Amino acid sequence: MNAAAPLLPPSPLADDQKAQLLQLINGLDTHALWWLSGYSAGLAQAQQPRALALVAPGQVASGAVAKERLTILYGSQTGNAKRCAERLLADAEAAGVPVRLLRADAYPTRELADERWLYVVISTQGEGDPPDDAIGFIEFLNGRRAPKLAQLRFSVLGLGDSSYADFCGIGRKLDARLAELGGQRVVALAQADVDFDTIALPWHSQVLEQARTQIQATPTASSNVTPLRHAVAQALPQWTQANPFVTEVLANQRLTGREFKGTGFRKYGDNDKDVRHIELSLEGSGLTYEPGDSLGIRHRNPQALVEAVLEATGLDSTVMVELDGNAVSLGQSLEEKRELSRLSRPFLTAVAEHVQADDLKQLLEPGNAQFAGLVNTHQLIDVLRRWSATWDAQALVKALRAPTQRLYSIASSRKRVGEEAHLTLDVLRYQAHGHAHLGAASGFLAALDEGGQVPVYVEANERFRVPADASRDIIMVGPGTGIAPFRGFVQERAETGASGRNWLFFGAQHFNTGFVYQTEWQDALAKGELQRLDLAFSRDQAEKIYVQHRLREQGRELYDWLQNGAHFYVCGAIGMGKDVHAALLDIITTHNGGDADAATEFLATLQREGRYARDVY
């Protein structure tokens, strides 16, 4: 026996209770585990039939009693809302404010009626939808059981992307609903774009001051407390979006399509794909990840795109500009420090003012349905060409926003590939508006040869994990590059000897050109690492067939798997995710006796239990 290992008493839990506990804590992050430990300790101390207040972070089992307590709630899809909430937690604790931090799906909604102080940080997914971890909370708040909140003081920070028509939509809806229920705003709704700190930090300062001056707590019964912020600090990653690790390309392999050379770009909406498998070395980085996590990429804008912007604006790359307090050349700022492909409402507003374009101003009016059509069919360079004008270099840099975070699902398990991370990406490359177009990040990655360098960081996704109970079956739906995390899932389950079955639904446009990792999936079937594989190739027959059609075809067996405890995962485009969700509701309704309400509740229960997880974008 290892003398340094702690001696634990025999577990009082039965085997089935252990399995349930493992399922419960599967995917919980550091903060949730700290909260759970405090909650459990409180239950052990109480052991009497009375309502137990949840223990605040920084006061775990300490006996501290707050006259009022701040609750920070977050709903996060890519981690930004979570980080903002964590930062607020740490500063509130440092200011002596009694506070707790909860992910939205961990919030006990029965407590909302008695809540006095609530700060919410929430991101918008797609066109005004909540992130997956906040769906249940939003549904409760909008439902008949939502309580009156006359005693509640609240504030909402919404994170979004102004390239979407319904910018910060869920933040605005949540703010309005809390007020409709009687809550009092202590700080007005803040709506932050992708460069969110410009809005988030002032909001942070205002709500912190409100909490610091208005929330009081009684002295704690014990000073033997380890504030959660210390645990947070210990868990902070070394490599981040602001400070990425520079990794080396080990392989860059084309999986589908043909090679594009010269003017060989497909037209906008053409079906040809250029899907790549890229292997990156993590040796010496200390970076770790779990299947389901994403790799963030700090890309450089392709030189062709930089030159196109310079030509469209009549500017010289050598002109010096001021950026973030430093003097840099315009060329360098465009290549490394500014977003040159995705549109944003502030940029379009700046162009409309600069050019005095009435037609563009009309598109930017609230509620104009044509705005979405513009951002869905135009890159930034298209706007500069369509509303052409000579620009001042400093004015252009000011109008452009910082680069948008690029996240790619990791397509590997460390247990199989070691100190590597594999990616599956579709290179955006097409002809439109009379010009060739190239995705900035995907084009950057596609051009890298072996030995090329890529700045990276890991973005954890605690809600998208293989089951802690290895005997559970899993169903995976991943058309196109949505297949990426499931390659990692199957590898992980094979390497750990999981006894649960693996069922994969994959879709693409054509069998011959779109079946990514075909030989790997066939090998996995032969080895018993994959038990079932259902395929949908939408363009290989007159009638288009998608993964949701294959789900319906296998509805009876899929329903049986779910009834017997299977986990269900979806990865891919937001639209596909909605179609799959609708198919699931239909399948469950068909096989539960026709009860649509029960089907909706069944799926909601699966989400709350972590058995229905989505990674959609």
**Which of 18-27, 104-113, 395-404 is the least confident region?**
18-27
- pLDDT value of residue 67: 62
Q: What is the pLDDT of residue 521?
A: 97
Name beta bridge partners: 572: 616
Alpha-carbon span 175 to 177, nearest angstrom: 6
CATH architecture of the domain covering 300-402? Up-down Bundle (1.20)
**613: pLDDT strictly greater than 70:** yes
Domain spans in the chain, listed from the N-terminal domain onward: 52-235, 238-297+405-461, 300-402, 474-616
In this structure, what DSSP letter does residue 500 have?
S
Given the structure tokens 């109008």, which residue do they identify? 399
Give the whole-angstrom CA distance, residue 52 versus residue 144.
25
Class of domain 474-616: alpha beta
CB-CB contact of 374 with 164 (8 Å) = no
Average pLDDT of the residues in 424-453: 93
Q: 3-state SS string over 72-132?
A: EEEECCCCHHHHHHHHHHHHHHHCCCCEEEEEHHHCCHHHHHHCCEEEEEEECECCCECCH
The pLDDT value given to residue 156: 97
For residue 58, the SS3 value is: coil
**Which CATH architecture is the domain 52-235 placed in?**
3-Layer(aba) Sandwich (3.40)
Instruction: Answer whether CATH 3.40.50.720 is correct for domain 238-297+405-461.
Output: no
| pLDDT at 390 (0 to 100) | 92
* pLDDT surpasses 90 at 53: no
**What local confidence, expressed as pLDDT, does residue 376 receive?**
87
Question: Looking at 172-176, 263-267, 473-477, 556-560, which range is the least confident one?
Answer: 263-267
**Is there a shared CATH topology between the 52-235 domain and the 238-297+405-461 domain?**
no
Q: Tell me the pLDDT tens digit for each residue of 442-485.
A: 999 999 999 999 999 999 998 899 999 999 999 999 999 999 99
117-147 burial: b if 16+ Cβ within 10 Å, else e = bbbbbbbbbbebbbbbbbbbbbbbbeeeebb
Amino acid 131 reads: P
pLDDT at 217: 54
Q: How many CB atoms lie within 10 A of CB 581?
A: 16
Mean pLDDT of 378-407: 93
List the structure tokens of 181.
């229920």
Query: Which percentage of the chain shows pLDDT scores above 90?
Result: 67
Strands annotated E in 232-337: 245-254, 266-267, 275-281, 294-297, 320-323, 326-329
Dihedral of CA atoms 381, 385, 390, 392 in degrees, nearest 10, equals: -20
Q: Which of 493, 452, 495 is nearest to 469 (CA)?
A: 493
Pairing outcome for strands 275-281 and 245-254: antiparallel
pLDDT of 251 reads: 97
pLDDT at residue 125, as a whole number: 82
Mean pLDDT for all residues in the chain: 85
56-79 confidence digits (pLDDT tens): 333 333 333 346 899 999 998 878
Give the span between the Cα atoms of 448 and 456, in whole angstroms: 14
Please write the tens of the pLDDT for every residue from 79-136.
889 989 999 999 999 999 999 999 998 899 999 999 999 999 999 887 778 888 898 8
Residues 95, 113: Cα–Cα separation, whole Å: 26
Most confident option among 122-126, 137-141, 427-431, 496-500: 496-500
